[in-house]
Amino acid sequence: MPGLEPSFILAVGTCAIQGGAMFAIEQVFRKHVSESLQGKVVMITGGSAGVGRAAARAFARQGANVALLARDVSGLEDAKAEIESFGGEARIFPADVADAEAVFAAAAQCEVELGPIDIWVNNAMATVFSPVEQLTPEEIRRVTEVTYLGYVHGTLAALRHMRPRDRGVIVQVGSSRAYRGIPLQAAYCGAKHAVRGFTDSLRTELLHHRSNVAVTAVHLPAVNTPQFEWARTRMRKAFRPVTPVYTSRAAAFAIVHAATHPKREYWLGGTTSLTIIGDMLFPGLLDRFLAREAVDRQQKEMEIGANRSDNLFSPVSGRHRTNGAFSAEARPNPAMLSAQTIRFATIAGACVLIGFAGAVFGARRASAARIEKRCRSR
């Protein structure tokens, strides 16, 4: 014990914290929900592609009637046909989530065609891969209108129908970017931070009113979706998700689980948990790590084609599908924990660290005292 170095103590402590945060992996990420969704009405924004489309299929396979809201009509029709191919029920509502009135109208029409909305999933997003100084005000405004105000509009639409009935669940699909900004995605990260603040405020108001309407957030890791093929970019090289990458199906099951077992927040994937906890504990260290690693790790070696189109201001037809170009490396089963569980585990790990450090310090003091006593006896 006397020969232990501080670096060793820090390493052991870090392992304790990480181990504590992930101690319940075996009990999470259930593929089958226990609560029946038979006949429930679920509205999903951004439902024509990626995570939204995968979630629509997952809800429909559990017996839910699904409403899909997105801009691209052909993508919506394809998603609807997929659901109907295995006997599911779906309706499509072409709209831009940045248009509040269009979202409100879609919600009202959904209630007429499918019945009362039980679950509302806010998922639509837009981004621009670019250094901050190269972003235009118009691009930042558009990302904010879709990724932040789109969630606000969807939440307001859901509350209009759920609050009078005093029931329903609102699911905010987020990511670790809601806690930790990274290079080249400032507009998106800022919008996700805004969604988290808005949702926290709403949650406290619902608690104040003792409402039975639940709001939950699912923070995702990198997911294999088409967004990396159609998002606007200022970079010369093609963009890619930071590894590890997970399947859109995994994200969909997490959303279904959160909708049927709503808790304050869920964090999907070990990288999501470690990023959020790491930012809470060591924000400066994470700044330096991301500065060194995150720019290159978000780019592929291949260059972008000269005629590449993007979906920032208008949809890109013909590319709406569930999965992106990274299926070969996408992992199917990430760990999923509630934020409360992870924070408790992290505190437990920190206590282990403090106890271990205290034991080492005590042992060193005792050893020093013995040495001093022997020296005096001579």
The model's pLDDT over 71-120, given as tens digits with 9 standing for 90+, comes to 999 999 999 999 999 999 999 999 999 999 999 999 999 999 999 999 99
For residue 323, give the nearest of 59, 42, 82, 69 by alpha carbon. 82
Question: How large is the average pLDDT for residues 337-358?
Answer: 54
* Residues present in the chain in total: 378
Residue 242 has pLDDT above 70, yes or no: yes
Cα 116 from chain centre: 27
For residue 124, give the nearest of 186, 40, 56 by alpha carbon. 56
pLDDT at 28: 42
Q: Which residues of 31-56 are buried (b: 16+ CB within 10 A; e: fewer)?
A: eebeeebeebbbbbbbbbbbbbbbbb
Active-site option among 148, 151, 179, 188: 188
Phi-psi region of 352 (alpha: psi -120 to 50; beta: other; left: phi over 0): alpha
The answer to whether the CB of 177 falls within 8 A of the CB of 132 is no
CA dihedral 155, 160, 163, 165 (to 10 degrees): -130
Residue 349 has pLDDT above 60, yes or no: no
Query: pTM of this prediction?
Result: 0.83
Residue 180 has pLDDT above 90, yes or no: yes
SS3 79: helix
Q: Could you confirm whether 151 is annotated as catalytic?
A: no
Question: To the nearest whole number, what is the mean pLDDT of the chain?
Answer: 86
pLDDT at 169: 98
